[in-house]
């Protein structure tokens, strides 16, 4: 099996998970100390390219990326600050960060960033893949208190305290999957599109709902709940299946299609039916 080509869009299908750890000052990280912390979370871990001053590079020999050319260990790479992107806050990610209003004041204080990404991980089982990146992030946070987290592949900023609380609570999807919301008042007053972003990077369809007349928080909870269901069970919601809507007695029709809102990726559209359905569903 050949390696699938990553989507050109950094939050599309396939490709690496990308997380920025934002700091006011350049953090000092000891490579060997970090190795021991990562081992505490991820088990068997080794340092790769120990003489490379541009990055911290760790491999997981027990978790292999299998391609035609052979088997390669899954990896975590941490790029040094001089190799990171412009730290100007991303307005879109701020607009899709709904659970941390203080982000608009805190994120602009960042002056340096560590970029954390995974490599050789596309064919690693999705629960394991996400657990490895969480373990590496927790290890870094144990050693260097962080100002904010920019989870690029779910287009949102994260409060570090909330991130660690989610790890304690055992929620693997926070914040790797984000529920976004878009108002289209200029074209269709009262209509909303809500979707998830992040599942496609883990090899699953995201979810989408185009609706009117329903409280957005209810739809957000529904989409996140079904994202968790897909993450646990795989792409098991087939076209024509119905799922429970926001009311226990309602049934919403499921259909796979290309996302209405970029990035381009496959989604499962959930149709709430009359009188709540919106948009042209063909």
Overall average pLDDT of the 129-136 stretch: 97
Overall average pLDDT of the 240-245 stretch: 95
pLDDT tens readout for residues 24-33? 998 989 999 9
pLDDT confidence bin for 255, thresholds 50/70/90: very high
Q: Which residues of 39-65 are buried (b: 16+ CB within 10 A; e: fewer)?
A: eebbeebeebeeeeeebbbbbbeebbb
pLDDT confidence bin for 8, thresholds 50/70/90: very low
Spell out the domain ranges in the chain.
18-169, 178-271
Percent of the chain with pLDDT over 70: 90
pLDDT tens readout for residues 38-91? 999 999 999 987 667 778 999 999 998 877 788 889 999 998 776 666 789 999
Question: Above 50 in pLDDT, residue 17?
Answer: yes
Residue 167's pLDDT is 96
Residue 84's pLDDT is 64
Residue 68's pLDDT is 76
Residue 188's pLDDT is 66
Overall average pLDDT of the 10-20 stretch: 76
Question: Above 50 in pLDDT, residue 9?
Answer: no
d(C-alpha 97, C-alpha 103), whole Å:
8
pTM recorded for the entire structure: 0.90
Overall average pLDDT of the 252-262 stretch: 95
pLDDT tens readout for residues 269-278? 999 999 888 8
Mean pLDDT, all residues of the chain: 90
Residue 65's pLDDT is 82
Residue 10's pLDDT is 44
pLDDT confidence bin for 190, thresholds 50/70/90: confident
Residue 82's pLDDT is 64
Question: Above 80 in pLDDT, residue 185?
Answer: no
pLDDT tens readout for residues 220-242? 999 999 999 999 999 999 999 99
pLDDT confidence bin for 11, thresholds 50/70/90: low
pLDDT tens readout for residues 153-171? 999 999 999 999 999 999 9
Question: Above 50 in pLDDT, residue 93?
Answer: yes
Question: Above 80 in pLDDT, residue 22?
Answer: yes
């Amino acid at each position: 099996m050949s390696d699938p080509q990553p989507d050109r869009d950094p939050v599309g299908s396939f490709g690496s998970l990308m997380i920025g750890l934002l700091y006011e000052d350049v953090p000092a990280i000891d490579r060997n100390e970090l190795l021991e912390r990562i081992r505490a979370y991820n088990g068997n871990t080794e340092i790769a390219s120990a003489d490379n001053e541009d990055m911290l590079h760790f491999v997981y020999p027990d978790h292999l990326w299998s391609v035609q050319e052979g088997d390669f260990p899954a990896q975590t790479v941490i790029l040094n600050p001089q190799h990171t992107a412009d730290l100007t806050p991303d307005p879109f990610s701020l607009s899709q960060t709904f659970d941390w209003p203080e982000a608009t004041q805190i994120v602009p204080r960042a002056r340096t960033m560590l970029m954390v990404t995974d490599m050789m991980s596309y064919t690693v089982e999705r629960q394991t893949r996400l657990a490895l990146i969480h373990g590496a992030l927790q290890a870094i946070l144990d050693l260097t208190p962080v100002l904010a987290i920019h989870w690029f592949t779910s287009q949102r900023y994260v409060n570090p305290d909330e991130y660690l609380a989610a790890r304690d609570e055992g929620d693997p999807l926070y914040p790797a999957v984000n529920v976004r919301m878009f108002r289209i008042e200029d074209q269709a007053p009262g209509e909303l599109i809500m979707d998830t972003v992040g599942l496609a990077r883990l090899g699953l369809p995201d979810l989408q709902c185009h609706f009117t007349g329903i409280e957005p928080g209810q739809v957000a909870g529904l989409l996140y709940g079904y994202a968790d269901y897909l993450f646990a069970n795989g792409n098991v919601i087939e076209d024509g299946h119905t799922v429970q809507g926001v009311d226990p007695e309602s049934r919403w029709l499921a259909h796979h299609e290309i996302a209405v809102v970029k990035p381009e990726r496959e989604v499962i559209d959930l149709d709430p039916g009359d009188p709540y359905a919106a948009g042209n569903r063909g």
